[in-house]
Chains A and B, each alone.
Chain A
């Protein structure tokens, strides 16, 4: 795709535009001016070291921080002042937190059915079970009596039903066996084909690289670099430097 064709399109289907986002937990100032741009249907990653502020960026989008300033525009609408429960409805966001957030007092199916409908176009239950066949087998079990992989699948599956169009996925491959990581890669690819816009927070760059259109590198609460997928091979040295511990 040539730059000339991409630019005007970018304007018309712009989904998320974050400018100078600051976030605080109590007295700690965690984000120091994050800028992000996402078009409808894009997959972006937030890369960086632990504690760089990637998870906080997702949480700040949802209003799950003590205080935030700056601008978050979803489809042109400013959402920074909205309370958390309105943000999901206004912006059609689905959130899969790092700790997965499976409810232990709910069965698998109750977990799956918990998030309310936000808009049209969510996956049907049958489609979800087709995409995650394991979940169907264990649907009567309590949420936390699942393997780590099953819990991760459930945490993703339950936000697909709601009609959310922007998925915030935090460290979904963390601590999982390679075969499950591979399966998750296939699922992200399918979701992408279905037009979901996705922000991945990832430690595992080899997992994220073939899935994403763009990589944001975050350090000390700022975006310090931004690399398009096409430019990754030429910039591997730079990326390795950012991600090395």
Chain B
């Protein structure tokens, strides 16, 4: 029994790191821009597709059939591509909406999500394409003592935890992070001190979306690359953000991991409830602490 719980816990944790990374990006963006980025799931999907395209399609497109850009380069290139797209979206579209109600930012990003999903659904199989370039060093399984665990998934857990920790550290413990926190609280005054807040906002959005892209690349070898993969996960991630507290960095990370674990362990006891337990928790948290577990009550 204990073994089963541990094993499901590990698988849950594997989902949890994706929840954590995605909700972290959402939290960073919401904190600075006050925008609920509905396109986050689509950008995660895009991250996975960029990795797939780099390996399977790019070579054919540019006439070098032998060119297959693998997982490791994709792990760098894909977040950059998605982050740059984020920067373009912020600069050309989102920026115009800051003076309006938040709902417009939500509508715009929702629209962007639909466009991205639509475009990819048009050209790719909705039921998913496997990512064929799992790096050789990460294939196979490791013995964790209580279970045999795929090496790649272990890598994803460790790598994502490091990314989450670094993001938390930069935001909460460094000078750049102090600018971000101050800019979140009182952008006007930070501007008056001589800091280029509009640039900071653009880069924050770029960073948040790059995190989604990174999560997408990491997901590609595990889940199949599909135009709707983002739409599936984003609903859960929004629940994570609500439970953790909008805009709280630590809240996003801890809640993401915890909910992955809870979801996994629920499978041991009552599998049909695994998919709904998160939303059940969300209702309870909203009733007891409307600002979320880590959010500050206003």
Q: Which A residues lie at the B interface, using CB under 8 A?
A: 62, 64, 83-89, 93, 95, 97, 101, 103-106, 110, 113-116, 118, 159, 162
Q: Kindly identify which residue among B181, B191, B192, B196 contacts A106, using a CB–CB cutoff of 8 Å.
A: B181
Whether the Cβ atoms of A85 and B195 lie closer than 8 Å is yes
Give chain B nearest CB distance to A142 CB in angstroms.
11
In the assembled complex, the Cα of A88 lies from the Cα of B195 at a distance in Å of 9
Whether the Cβ atoms of A103 and B181 lie closer than 8 Å is yes
Whether the Cβ atoms of B193 and A88 lie closer than 8 Å is yes
Give chain A nearest CB distance to B111 CB in angstroms.
28
Q: Mask for B71-106, Cβ within 8 A of A = 1, else 0?
A: 000000000000000000000000000000000000
Whether the Cβ atoms of A116 and B184 lie closer than 8 Å is no
The residue among B179, B184, B191 with the most chain A CB atoms within 10 A of its own CB is B191
Q: Could you name 20 residue pairs across A and B whose Cβ atoms are closer than 8 Å?
A: A84-B188, A84-B192, A85-B195, A85-B198, A88-B192, A97-B189, A97-B192, A101-B186, A105-B182, A106-B181, A106-B182, A110-B178, A114-B179, A114-B182, A114-B190, A115-B193, A116-B193, A116-B194, A159-B193, A162-B194
Q: Whose C-beta in chain B lies nearest to the C-beta of A155?
A: B189
Q: Kindly identify which residue among A88, A103, A106 contacts B194, using a CB–CB cutoff of 8 Å.
A: A88
Q: Whose C-beta in chain A lies nearest to the C-beta of B182?
A: A103
B65 proximal to A (CB < 8 A): no
B240 proximal to A (CB < 8 A): no
Interface size on B, residues (CB 8 A): 19
Q: Which residues of B contact A114 (CB under 8 A)?
A: 178-179, 182, 190, 193
Whether the Cβ atoms of A101 and B181 lie closer than 8 Å is no
Known: A85-B196, A85-B197, A114-B178. A95 touches B184 (CB 8 A): no
**Residues of A contacting B: mostly:** loop
Q: Whose C-beta in chain B lies nearest to the C-beta of A115?
A: B193
In the assembled complex, the Cα of A105 lies from the Cα of B80 at a distance in Å of 30
Q: Whose C-beta in chain A lies nearest to the C-beta of B199?
A: A85
In the assembled complex, the Cα of A118 lies from the Cα of B193 at a distance in Å of 9
Q: Whose C-beta in chain A lies nearest to the C-beta of B189?
A: A101
In the assembled complex, the Cα of A106 lies from the Cα of B182 at a distance in Å of 7
Q: Which residues of A contact B185 (CB under 8 A)?
A: 103-105
Whether the Cβ atoms of A85 and B189 lie closer than 8 Å is no
Q: Kindly identify which residue among A83, A95, A104 contacts B193, using a CB–CB cutoff of 8 Å.
A: A95
In the assembled complex, the Cα of A103 lies from the Cα of B198 at a distance in Å of 19
Known: A103-B185, A105-B184. A116 touches B178 (CB 8 A): no
Q: Whose C-beta in chain B lies nearest to the C-beta of A104?
A: B185
Whether the Cβ atoms of A84 and B182 lie closer than 8 Å is no
Q: Which residues of B contact A95 (CB under 8 A)?
A: 189, 192-193
Q: Mask for B172-188, Cβ within 8 A of A = 1, else 0?
A: 00010011011011101
In the assembled complex, the Cα of A104 lies from the Cα of B193 at a distance in Å of 17
Known: A85-B197, A113-B175. A64 touches B182 (CB 8 A): no
Q: Which residues of A contact B189 (CB under 8 A)?
A: 95, 97, 101
Give chain B nearest CB distance to A179 CB in angstroms.
28
In the assembled complex, the Cα of A114 lies from the Cα of B200 at a distance in Å of 15
Q: Which residues of A contact B186 (CB under 8 A)?
A: 101, 103
Q: Kindly identify which residue among A64, A105, A113 contacts B192, using a CB–CB cutoff of 8 Å.
A: A64
Q: Which 7 A-B pairs have the closest CB atoms?
A: A88-B194, A115-B193, A84-B191, A101-B189, A105-B181, A95-B192, A103-B182
